[in-house]
Structure 1
């Protein structure tokens, strides 16, 4: 009798088998694909040719060899993450992989083929031994990058994390060979103006992320957005000294009329006109993140009046913005689903009240280190934002009454994170637990008045709880934890006393 695998092989052509593997990847991820590849040589060959995504470690002395091995074995890759934050678990795995490739899969243990893909976080001890202070040496260079883009001709998404040894030659290679590239993320390296402009000319990019890149100026970014003005949909720029100024923001607003996602972090923006240009020019904007910008109320008033499609807004350390800004956002951006406010010194309860009145679709709210906000702000959210799914509060001077409304109205709430809220006690958690019975994630950090009674209420009411994180709760004993353990779906519990 023919084996089961033989019957399947006889019935399925390669293209249909490849489609099966793509669906396996979508449902289960890399581990399931690896299992499929071990069934037989045919499955292994088809899986290699059809694999679409890989996260590849480029730490240590074998970075180019690892990338070369991956490119040779998986020519169908479309999404590649070259990560400096990982390292090869087996010290000689790159050499073993090269040997395996030369000799053929039949003559080697098939597990050797996977060793170069097995990665783990570099331990502190290993970092100290290497004398690297947490930054691994890497031999990943232009040669490895060029081999990747030559071997994987269908690249659509590429991420380079900590690419210190990649020069303009490597970026030009991407521009010349990756015509289908749509998304590019560059973190921690050197990007000169000419290199970025060449990328804009060679690749039809719709997404660009620049984080911690050096040598780039606003001149290069302005030229980039001019060239890619029609295709650019998402732009994320952070920790790039001198790259984001009012001139680059003005160019974004002038040329990128199809932009939907914008994230900017810069201490070099001290004028409103750049963000006003963005507001007037990027009216399809759906997600906006602003960090450390020295803009005032006029900038956010322009966003509120022009960007009615805005769904996600994050404001971090905008110390010149007051309630006027949030009033305008609440009046104009009624599709808002997520609002994050961090380290803002002028926003008060009044602005949160306006948001709760007008933004009925709000699903996620985070308020972090806004010291002049009090319980009234949370009372408004709890009473009016009945679609709320996630709530994060950190370092707020609020009391238990702030949570009454969540228990009475926010029945859909699934995730709650409370940190450094010193005035709240067991009563606050009980309000949430008794009303929000669909709660799945709960994190309580450094709230000293919370103890066993809170967890008793959670255990009795929140039967859908999946994840629980508790830290710095001095009044916590085994009684409350034992009750929570009865939640049958609990998958992750992290408890640290201090």
Structure 2
């Protein structure tokens, strides 16, 4: 990393770069690319002499799009080193909004240079390969949040590697990862006791036993989704009620075997519950939901409408 420059010298070099480093205006990335492509190498070298961590990263690179960042990387060896060093400093990588346009090659650059990540969001990055995902997991042992929902080209080896390597994991989102099996979830339960948020929506192979192991081993759960896992029964809810005292959100929609008994236990024991989703649970009725509604818990299905008093009176009077 470059040594800090004298304060006056830093100010002059910022002025030479159009004043953008002072944070007054949005960075014009086209001007930046033209600048570093220009013939005046002295100015480019002055730019690189600025403190990277304190100036270049927060005031320039943080404002670039991924496309511009990769364009900058391609300009010269010095710019490549700058971008790679920037990538190594990142705590968050969120590709959820641009995942469809990202490529394996571009992610390969990320996985080779990111090793301080805390949050990695790869939602709907269907192109991600098993090897690349395992590589970035292995290089980031301090990862706390991982979202690989709708990633269909990876397998349970990644989850087992995650469980072994990232024991401080707090959030794992696996929505529609139908390849997820009970053994992988058991590994997560055994190795990641700090988990607070788990989304297993449509992970059909999850069993009662693996879900119960997760609940017992992870007492700090605040958000849990077991939606559309058709084999889940009241046995899981019994353990949730006994173990998950901090639970705020529970999604069991589409779990056909859940009944009023399990939901009633949740209502009686999970005092911090704020939202419950039970759409499609045909055995769950107002017998268990009414108490939760009185507590102010938001539920995804509306209560049955009460008959109007006038209609009741007419019926009672025989009209």
Give the TM-score of the pair, scaled to structure 1.
0.46
Q: In the aligned structure 1, how far is the partner of 2:35 from the partner of 2:151?
A: 32
- Is 1:402 the counterpart of 2:236? The answer is yes
Match of 1:194 in 2: 30
- Tell me the secondary structure at the aligned position of residue 278 of structure 2: strand
Task: Map 1:126-205 onto structure 2 (within 5 A).
Answer: 176=18, 178-181=20-23, 194=30, 197=33, 204-205=59-60
Please say if residues 304 and 331 of structure 1, whose CA atoms lie closer than 8 Å, have aligned partners that are also in contact.
Answer: no
Task: Map 1:69-468 onto structure 2 (within 5 A).
Answer: 176=18, 178-181=20-23, 194=30, 197=33, 204-205=59-60, 207-208=62-63, 218=67, 220-224=68-72, 256-264=87-95, 265-267=98-100, 271=104, 275=107, 277-290=109-122, 291-397=124-230, 398-458=232-292, 463=295, 465=296, 467-468=297-298
Please say if residues 247 and 270 of structure 2, whose CA atoms lie closer than 8 Å, have aligned partners that are also in contact.
Answer: yes
Q: Which runs of 5+ in 2 are unaligned?
A: 1-16, 37-46, 48-55, 307-319
**Cα 1:368/1:335, change in 2 over 3 Å:** same
Please say if residues 20 and 26 of structure 2, whose CA atoms lie closer than 8 Å, have aligned partners that are also in contact.
Answer: no
Q: In the aligned structure 1, how far is the partner of 2:143 from the partner of 2:26?
A: 24
Q: In the aligned structure 2, how far is the partner of 1:182 from the partner of 1:301?
A: 41
**Cα 1:453/1:260, change in 2 over 3 Å:** same
Q: Which has the higher contact order (CA 8 A, sep 6+)?
A: 2
- Tell me the secondary structure at the aligned position of residue 416 of structure 1: strand
Deviations 1:149-193 (A, max 9, x none): xxxxxxxxxxxxxxxxxxxxxxxxxx95653449979xxxxx9x8
Please say if residues 21 and 60 of structure 2, whose CA atoms lie closer than 8 Å, have aligned partners that are also in contact.
Answer: no
Deviations 1:346-397 (A, max 9, x none): 1111111111111111111112222333333321221111011112333221
Q: Tell me the CA shift for residue 316 of structure 1.
A: 2.2
Deviations 1:175-219 (A, max 9, x none): 95653449979xxxxx9x836746998981464586xxxxxx95x
Q: In the aligned structure 2, how far is the partner of 1:183 from the partner of 1:321?
A: 42
**Cα 1:374/1:179, change in 2 over 3 Å:** same
Deviations 1:70-91 (A, max 9, x none): xxxxxxxxxxxxxxxxxxxxxx
What's the C-alpha RMSD, in Å, of the aligned pairs? 3.7
Q: In the aligned structure 1, how far is the partner of 2:160 from the partner of 2:24?
A: 37
Q: Which runs of 5+ in 1 are unaligned?
A: 1-174, 186-190, 211-216, 228-247, 480-498
Q: Tell me the CA shift for residue 252 of structure 1.
A: 6.6
- Tell me the secondary structure at the aligned position of residue 262 of structure 1: strand
**Cα 1:258/1:198, change in 2 over 3 Å:** farther
Q: In the aligned structure 2, how far is the partner of 1:182 from the partner of 1:360?
A: 45
Please say if residues 212 and 236 of structure 2, whose CA atoms lie closer than 8 Å, have aligned partners that are also in contact.
Answer: yes
Q: In the aligned structure 2, how far is the partner of 1:372 from the partner of 1:183?
A: 52
Give the TM-score of the pair, scaled to structure 2.
0.68
**Cα 1:262/1:456, change in 2 over 3 Å:** same
Deviations 1:465-485 (A, max 9, x none): 4x41332x7xx5469xxxxxx
**Cα 1:199/1:357, change in 2 over 3 Å:** farther
**Cα 1:299/1:417, change in 2 over 3 Å:** same
Q: In the aligned structure 2, how far is the partner of 1:378 from the partner of 1:195?
A: 53
Q: Tell me the CA shift for residue 226 of structure 1.
A: 7.3
Higher strand share: 1
Please say if residues 197 and 224 of structure 1, whose CA atoms lie closer than 8 Å, have aligned partners that are also in contact.
Answer: yes
Please say if residues 339 and 364 of structure 1, whose CA atoms lie closer than 8 Å, have aligned partners that are also in contact.
Answer: yes
- Tell me the secondary structure at the aligned position of residue 278 of structure 1: helix
- Tell me the secondary structure at the aligned position of residue 325 of structure 1: helix
